[in-house]
Amino acid sequence: MNINRLIYPGFWFGKTDKKDALEMARRGAGGFCIYGGTREGVTELIPALRAASPLEKLFICADYEDGLGRWITGESWVLSNLAVGASGQEEIAYQKGLTLALEARNVGVDWVFAPVLDLCDEPNNPIVNTRSLGANPHSVARLGAALCRGLKDGGVLNSIKHFPGHGKTTQDSHLGLPVLNRTREELEKHELIPFRAALPYADSVMIGHLLLPELDSKNPASLSRSVITTLLQKEMGYDGLVFTDALCMKAIGDEKTAALAALNAGAHILLAAEDSVALSDFLQTQQIAPEVIARSLSLQDALAERLPDAPKEGLPAREFNVRYAANCAVQNGYLPVLKPGQSAAYLELGNEEDFAAKPFLNALESAGLRLVKPGEKADAFIAVSFSNYKAFKGHINLSREEKQKLSRAAAQYGQSVFVSFGSPFGSNEIRELTGRLFLFSPADEAQICAADILLGKTKAKGILPV
């Protein structure tokens, strides 16, 4: 039995040495998780890994929760989970699953680590936010199960994450160890509800790097037998495949020690170590129970058989966004109705990742609206925020300085609107604003929808899910 099939290396374009990846493929790694790159780079890498592998089925995985746009340069985003949560519609969640599956298969990925079932019930959580389907556990349960079904019907494997849920934390587990101070009774009433609902449709479960002192005061969930074996497998009855979250994350310390602990706790796959070749060498020297390896191989073989030959086709990303953006948009307060010939002062905030606001601005200007700088005379004031989650960033929402800037600018105009293409939090304390418009996504089509709402061409039909 090959212990390397329990290792799924990460491949980070611009960082990972391709020679190391090919070496792990030759050793029989069970799969790879792809991060970044271009469409050309991804579609060239995947066949090379498969050609080097002795396995009949080498799994290719990716975190394409919001389509390819978060990871692949120049590709389209799909409306976020929080946008789907605002729609409240299971059909839209299901269709998103089909769309994510189509987008992933088009670049050669057959395992999408989605959906996120963490609750969006902590405004300062820097890594959940728009990845969540909302704050209400029952709504997240409905929509999460539907999204799982869409992914399965669309021809890719799914993975519900991050068990048992780390929405109610303020630490990014890429940078440190979040602590979830919930009693078992509180977990049952909140975090566990979406996971229980989605388990029947889950191809795998990813365990979060977070500490739950009530269940295990020493070990993160991803390394805890109390969480994986006792809670998930025995008490909740899950008998499928279990992933660790990425071992390169800073929450768990030394990745070799963590890998052993995870296997002993009941995990089946060791995901995205910082140095998978070194981890492979290390595991060869360890005495790992044969039944642990055999169980992982058996589960992987079964999942390979589950991939359908004729998956159900979903909408391409842009078509999905156009069809559902208005259903996922939320209006709060009074929005200015902009007309041709009018002017609007424009302020952009929370754009650390250099998202392009061109679709939004072009749609306004094409309709005859003139944009000016804040402080200049105008009929209305528009502030746009792209504040969003990103691994290893460690913060989200507007800074204190940005809030002050927003407050001063909005105070100068009778009509003002805060348009968010990311986090819905952080603007409520700005009393000078007369309205807010939430799209929850930087996708081009979400931006155009926001412009159409402000121009009176369509209406926001969603309800704030947080």
Active-site positions read 174, 245
Looking up tokens 């109390």, which residue turns up?
226
Instruction: Work out whether the CA dihedral 201, 204, 205, 209 comes out positive or negative.
Output: negative
- Going by the DSSP 8-state scheme, the letter that residue 89 receives in this structure is -
Q: If phi over 0 gives left and psi between -120 and 50 gives alpha, with beta otherwise, what is residue 334?
A: beta
Asked if 464 and 332 count as a contact pair (C-beta separation under 8 A), the reply is: yes
Q: Which residue is associated with the tokens 């105009």?
A: 413
Contact 90, 137 (CB under 8 A): no
As a whole number of angstroms, the distance between CA 78 and CA 64 comes to 9
Buried/exposed 411-430: b ≥16 CB within 10 Å, e otherwise: eebebbbbbbbbbbbbbeeb
Structure tokens at 4: 């390397």
* 13 contacts 46 by C-beta, under 8 angstroms: no
Q: Which of 223, 226, 257 is nearest to 243 (CA)?
A: 223
Please, which residues have CB within 8 angstroms of residue 362's CB and are 6 or more apart in sequence?
Answer: none
